[in-house]
Amino acid sequence: MLTGAAAAFVAARDVGVLATADATGMPTGVPVCYAWDGTDLWIALDTKPKRDADPLRLRRVQNILARPQVTLVVQDYLADAWAQLAHVIVHGTARLVPPGTPDHAAAVALLRAKYPQYQAMPLDARPAIAIRPDHVTTWGAVAARAARPATLPATITGRRSVRRFSDRPVPRDLVEHILEAARWAPSPHGRQPWRFAVLTQPATKARLAAAMGDEWRATLAQDGEPATAVAQRLAASQSRIRTAPTIILPCLYLADLDQYPDPDRQAAEMTMAIQSLGAAIQNMLLTAYHVGLDMGWMCAPLFCQSVVQAALALPEAWLPHALLPLGYAAADPKRRPRRPLADLVRWDD
Ligand SMILES: Cc1cc2nc3c(=O)[nH]c(=O)nc-3n(C[C@H](O)[C@H](O)[C@H](O)COP(=O)(O)O)c2cc1C
């Protein structure tokens, strides 16, 4: 049956390949949108352009009428993260359900909720395919992938800042995959004004935490914070650094940028570089989430750049701008709400 992680994986994907065969056994495969109602998989005979406008003359429908045994393959392919490959193969019995039945109406509602484009299509007036799973085969990282969306919009809205990690280590190839995403960020003049230090060794993380802690203690004391509050904030921040399985430290690197005689243009050049560093960081945050990892963002290095440089023996031209702890979330943190678009956007009409 289709249950557990396999069901969650299938429900969270948008496209599968439906295999059917005709009476002679001649197979055919076709990509399909589908919805899972907990009992059946539903496929609309929609009005996307097709060779034959009459849904009953479609090859897949003719095949199902002749031979109801079908297979639906749903898969995730991550080109640079093969440890995350996953697929579910559902073998089942298909039937054609005419419009006008309660089952059909409920399925159309499900399909429309999953695919907004279906709201404008007359699915209520057309038959639909229902597949009752007979048996299910799963392969690869189905459980891990079930918790992650397959599409870019869902990855963007699903990502969140993670502040506590389990001690499960992060495979090096995944860290490299995340850094590779940074490399493709836009940058002023294409100069890529960023460099990345990667911290995986407990001793390095401890050294960094201690050095930053000393600096922060002095700053907080200057601000007049009570000693107990200072100690608490320091302990929390140091623990975040020490317990993160991996840390990526994005640095601004200005040496390759244009030089201007006037300070205004030079400042704009610098701002562009910082904007670009933000784009590189966002590429990494999204990629980490996409491949099943989680990331946070700590701005602390900005406030003690030379201390971080000294603790990590970084070149002087590498200006630390953030700390990105990377690992597997210890708990699923809450997603912060967002302002509505109307608060953020002004159109010219
Ligand atoms: C430039 C920048 C600096 C940030 N610094 C910190 C930080 O020092 N500590 C922290 O816990 N989160 C930090 N964050 C993360 C934000 O708090 C977080 O992105 C925001 O609350 C929205 O939550 P979300 O990322 O989970 O959607 C920073 C984010 C940005 C963009």
Q: Is 297 in the pocket of ligand 1 (CB under 6 A)?
A: yes
How many structural domains compose the chain?
2
d(CA 316, CA 280): 21
Tell me the CA–centroid distance for residue 167 and ligand 1, in Å: 22
pLDDT band at 141; cut points 50, 70, 90: very high
The reply to whether 332 falls in a domain is: no
Inter-helix orientation angle 172-183/263-290, to 10°: 140
| Burial letters 149-162, b for 16+ CB under 10 A, else e | bbeeeebeeebbeb
Whether residue 187 sits in one domain with residue 294: yes
- What pLDDT was estimated at residue 7? 97
Q: State yes or no: pLDDT of 50 exceeds 80.
A: no
Spacing of C-alpha 13 from chain mean position: 13
The domain of 36 spans 4-146
Q: Is 53 in the pocket of ligand 1 (CB under 6 A)?
A: no
Give me the percent of the chain exceeding a pLDDT of 70. Answer: 99
- What pLDDT was estimated at residue 80? 76
56-60, 202-206, 235-239 — which one is most confidently predicted on average? Answer: 202-206
For residues 23-49, give the mean pLDDT: 94
Q: Whose CA is nearest to atom 22 of ligand 1?
A: 336
Tell me the CA–centroid distance for residue 296 and ligand 1, in Å: 7
Q: Whose CA is nearest to atom 3 of ligand 1?
A: 299
- CATH code of 176's domain: 3.40.109.10
For residues 24-51, give the mean pLDDT: 92
Q: Is 144 exposed, middle or buried (0-12, 13-18, 19+ CB in 10 A)?
A: middle
Cβ(26)–Cβ(67) below 8 Å: no
Any residues with CB less than 8 A from the CB of 343 and at least 6 apart, and which? none
The reply to whether 239 falls in a domain is: yes
Pocket probe for ligand 1: among 161, 304, 338, the residue whose CB has the most ligand atoms within 8 Å is 161
Whether residue 44 sits in one domain with residue 103: yes
d(CA 227, CA 106): 61
Q: State yes or no: pLDDT of 51 exceeds 70.
A: no
The reply to whether 246 falls in a domain is: yes
The reply to whether 343 falls in a domain is: no
The reply to whether 251 falls in a domain is: yes
E strands present in 110-241 = 128-140, 194-199
- What pLDDT was estimated at residue 14? 93
The reply to whether 345 falls in a domain is: no
Q: State yes or no: pLDDT of 332 exceeds 90.
A: no
- What pLDDT was estimated at residue 233? 87
CB atoms within 10 A of CB 173: 13
Q: Is 298 in the pocket of ligand 1 (CB under 6 A)?
A: yes
Q: Whose CA is nearest to atom 7 of ligand 1?
A: 298
Whether residue 317 sits in one domain with residue 232: yes
Whether residue 138 sits in one domain with residue 14: yes
- What pLDDT was estimated at residue 79? 79
Whether residue 178 sits in one domain with residue 90: no
Q: Is 74 helix (H, G, I), strand (E, B) or coil?
A: strand
Q: What is the pLDDT of residues 66-78, one digit of tens each?
A: 999 999 999 999 8
Q: Of 83, 115, 146, which residue constitutes the final position of a domain?
A: 146
The reply to whether 247 falls in a domain is: yes
Phi, psi of 299 (to 5 degrees): -90, -5
Tokens, residue 148: 């992650």
For residues 87-101, give the mean pLDDT: 96
Q: Of 91, 115, 146, which residue constitutes the final position of a domain?
A: 146
Q: Is 279 exposed, middle or buried (0-12, 13-18, 19+ CB in 10 A)?
A: middle
Longest Cα–Cα distance of the chain, Å, equals 84
Whether residue 162 sits in one domain with residue 118: no
d(CA 173, CA 98): 50
Q: Is 248 exposed, middle or buried (0-12, 13-18, 19+ CB in 10 A)?
A: buried
- Average per-residue pLDDT for the chain: 94
The reply to whether 311 falls in a domain is: yes
Whether residue 168 sits in one domain with residue 51: no
d(CA 102, CA 112): 15
Whether residue 168 sits in one domain with residue 125: no
Q: Is 337 in the pocket of ligand 1 (CB under 6 A)?
A: no
Distance from first CA to last CA of the chain, Å, rounded? 53
Tell me the CA–centroid distance for residue 264 and ligand 1, in Å: 29
Whether residue 141 sits in one domain with residue 179: no
Q: State yes or no: pLDDT of 81 exceeds 90.
A: no
Tell me the CA–centroid distance for residue 219 and ligand 1, in Å: 21
Tokens, residue 126: 């057309």
Q: What is the pLDDT of residues 265-297, one digit of tens each?
A: 999 999 999 999 999 999 999 999 999 999 999
Whether residue 187 sits in one domain with residue 127: no
- CATH code of 33's domain: 2.30.110.10
Q: For residue 285, give the ligand 1 atom closest to its CA.
A: 25
Q: What is the pLDDT of residues 162-201, one digit of tens each?
A: 999 999 999 998 999 999 999 999 999 999 999 999 999 9
Q: Dihedral of the CA atoms 34, 35, 40, 44 (nearest 10)?
A: -50
Whether residue 254 sits in one domain with residue 210: yes
d(CA 156, CA 335): 12
Which of 1-15, 32-46, 136-150, 220-234 shows the lowest per-residue confidence on average (mean pLDDT)? Answer: 220-234
For residues 297-306, give the mean pLDDT: 96
Whether residue 278 sits in one domain with residue 172: yes
Question: pTM of the predicted model, to two decimals?
Answer: 0.84
Q: State yes or no: pLDDT of 49 exceeds 90.
A: no
Q: Within the chain, how many helices (H) and strands (E) appear? A: 11, 12
d(CA 88, CA 76): 9
Q: Of 146, 173, 188, which residue constitutes the final position of a domain?
A: 146
